Amino acid sequence: MADATALPLGYRVRLGATTHRCGDGRTLFGGTGTILRLRPAALAHLDTAGTVRVHDATSAALARLLLDRGLATPCWPGDAASAPPDELTVVVPVLDRPVQLERLLRSLGDHPVVVVDDGSRDAAAIRVVCRRHGAELLRHNETRGPAAARNTGLRAVTTPLVAFVDSDVVLAAESLVRLQRHLDDPRVGIVAPRVRGLVERGGALQRYEAARSSLDLGPDPALVQPHARVAYVPSAMLLARRAALGDGFDETMPVAEDVDLVWRVGRDWTVRYEPGAVVRHEHRTSARSWFARKACYGNGAALLAARHGRAVAPAVLTPWTAAVTVGLLAQRRWGPAVVTVATLAAQRGLARRLDFAEHPQRAAAELTAAGLRATLLQTASAVTRHYVPLTLALAPFSARARRAYVVAAVAGGLADHHSVRPGIDPVRYVGLRALDDLAYGLGLWQGVVRQRSIGALIPLLRRRSRGDNEHPRKGMDP
């Protein structure tokens, strides 16, 4: 019997931007922390550009393994045709945004559209817009929240595919085409685009949000998993198989209902992030609403912790990263020695495990350097974001707490500024990033108090780094 989840003939995958291919050509590491050594039979299907084209059982097994380990992402040689309009329904939740709704519906083409009015004060204005564009209109007599509005739309959908699009999003037709291509993989249940700001110029806050929005997950495609480089995708725009969604969004969650859905679907299906498809979103640009929204995102962590446990942990600690973190935060004379000894020990152990590589010491050094950088950023984030109420509470009484906060905020902000290259000077960027982190941290602790559970504040402890969870695979099992 044919495998219903098999990749189709002609499907292509390419090694990801964060996947390192050792000099021997056979050893790969990256993705979800995998260290993979390919057999000659599998290696023959991986070309010099790092691309695999599915044409037989071995190439299909290799492509699937690379995708599932986060080492590769799908690629297409050219533009692909979109699914027929009658296979996809667009669901749009709306609350008092007739102008934005008009703009969105104008761009959706021939796809059937279900608009769910979640208790707008001017229901007539929404009705006129829907009638003008031939959209089906459903209405809640009172506001029940975006999760309930999306679920009402979902229950009205009869097509195999559904796209959830917020009314304040600007969507180009080619974005739907790019997203639908991922569904050639029968295991993909949800795929999401990159969400950029509608306005990228203006004041400092507008330019900061254009570069550092919580909705923008960066320029590189990714497999979406908790604690991965891309751990979630927002519901500003999601394309999904209706069969993957079950009962839909959790209507009891006022925030983070999209993360909850993505993680639940991800237990049985693949969730992918496709930044080649870009939609534009009206970010909040008034200081008060922006700060409040960031705090609201923080509120969601405690709700997620109650449902998904350690998936929402604010930090991941191994013996090595824990030693480095303690050495940094202690601010004692022995701190640098602890960091150095722990890092050298980690590198030595990794080199032993990479003895099959062409240059094991060099590969171990590269991996250790990447891990050290991630640990530094994680430590800075803990001080300025997840535990910032505690840091600031200690600051009046502790010089170490004050130094830790200032160094973490400035160093982390400057590193981030260099990475995202926003159209704003470093000083204002660092200040706005500190406010961003403060808002999230305050919201996180507020949610913890409200839920009466500290689950969202407890780090995840691992015996070894994610890359050390398994011994290196000596072959590829088709």
Beta bridge mates, 188: 270
- The phi-psi region of residue 256 (left if phi > 0; otherwise alpha if psi is between -120 and 50; otherwise beta) is left
The CA distance from 27 to 39, in Å, is: 10
**pLDDT of 24:** 72
Of 266 and 107, more confident: 266
Average the pLDDT over 442-451 and give the result.
96
What pLDDT, in 10s, does the model give residues 173-227? 788 889 999 999 999 999 999 998 887 667 888 889 888 888 999 999 999 999 9
CA–CA separation, 409 and 381 (whole Å): 8
User: Which strands make up the sheet holding 20-21, listed edge to edge?
Assistant: 20-21, 27-30, 34-37
The pLDDT assigned to 364 comes to 85
What pLDDT is recorded for position 378? 94
Task: Write out pLDDT tens, residues 157-178.
Answer: 999 999 999 999 998 878 888 9
Residue 475 pLDDT level (bands cut at 50, 70, 90)? very low
Residue ranges of the chain assigned to CATH 3.90.550.10: 85-285
Task: Check if the beta carbon of residue 33 is closer than 8 Å to that of residue 95.
Answer: no
Report the CATH fold assignment for 85-285: Spore Coat Polysaccharide Biosynthesis Protein SpsA; Chain A (3.90.550)
* Confidence tier at 25 by pLDDT (50, 70, 90): confident
**Cα–Cα dist 269/241, whole Å:** 10
Residue percentage of the chain with pLDDT more than 70: 94
**What integer pLDDT is reported at residue 300 of this predicted model?**
95
Interatomic CA distance for residues 434 and 436, integer angstroms: 5
Q: Is the pLDDT of residue 468 over 60?
A: no
Residue 65 pLDDT exceeds 60: yes
Model pTM?
Answer: 0.90
Q: Per residue in 74-103, pLDDT tens?
A: 998 765 555 566 789 999 999 999 999 999
Query: pLDDT tens, 243-288?
Result: 999 999 999 999 999 999 999 999 999 999 999 999 998 877 789 9
418 vs 95: CA distance, rounded Å: 38
- Sequence-distant (6+) residues with CB within 8 A of 423 are 200, 201, 207, 210, 211
Does 477 have pLDDT greater than 70?
no
Query: How confident is the prediction for the chain on average, in pLDDT?
Result: 89
**Host H or E run for residue 381:** helix 360-381
CA 141 – CA 132 distance, rounded (Å)? 22
